[in-house]
Amino acid sequence: IKNNSKTMLEKRNHLIDCLMNSKLGDRLHIKNHDTGMNMLAKFDSNTSGFELSKLALANGVKIFELSKFILQPNPLLPQNAFVFGYAGLSNDEIEKAVEKLELAWHDK
């Protein structure tokens, strides 16, 4: 268990570093990064989360808006909050996914 926790911590930190050092970094606000194999991030954009998800998927990145996981609308839920899953990805795959996301969202 300790080895798995260390691996997840390293992957999470690598994802955070890649995101924050990308062109999107100044528009991303990471939340709940200590939740295990997923983390939440809010992306500052006037484009809807649905459209951002579609753009990401069209560029090869599967990312889900947090609203997909709730049963009823919640006014406290921030707009464009996304769940980032990284457990099954290698560091190389994380880097490539961030590059693709950067391309998808760069002008949004």
Looking at every residue in the chain, the average pLDDT score rounds to: 89
Provide the phi-psi class of 14: left if phi over 0, else alpha when psi is between -120 and 50, else beta.
Answer: alpha
Lowest mean pLDDT among 9-13, 22-26, 76-80: 76-80
Residue appearing with tokens 């295990």: 36
Residue 3 has pLDDT above 80, yes or no: no
pTM of the entire predicted model: 0.86
Reply yes or no on whether the pLDDT at 34 is more than 90: no
Helix (H) or strand (E) holding 20: helix 2-20
Please give the structure tokens belonging to residue 79.
Answer: 């707009």
CA triplet 62, 78, 90: central angle to 5 degrees?
A: 30
Q: In which band, very low, low, confident or very high, does the pLDDT at 67 lie, cut at 50, 70 and 90?
A: confident
Can you read off the two tokens belonging to residue 92? Answer: 């190389």
Residue of 68 and 58 predicted with greater confidence: 58
CA dist 27 and 82 (Å) reads: 13
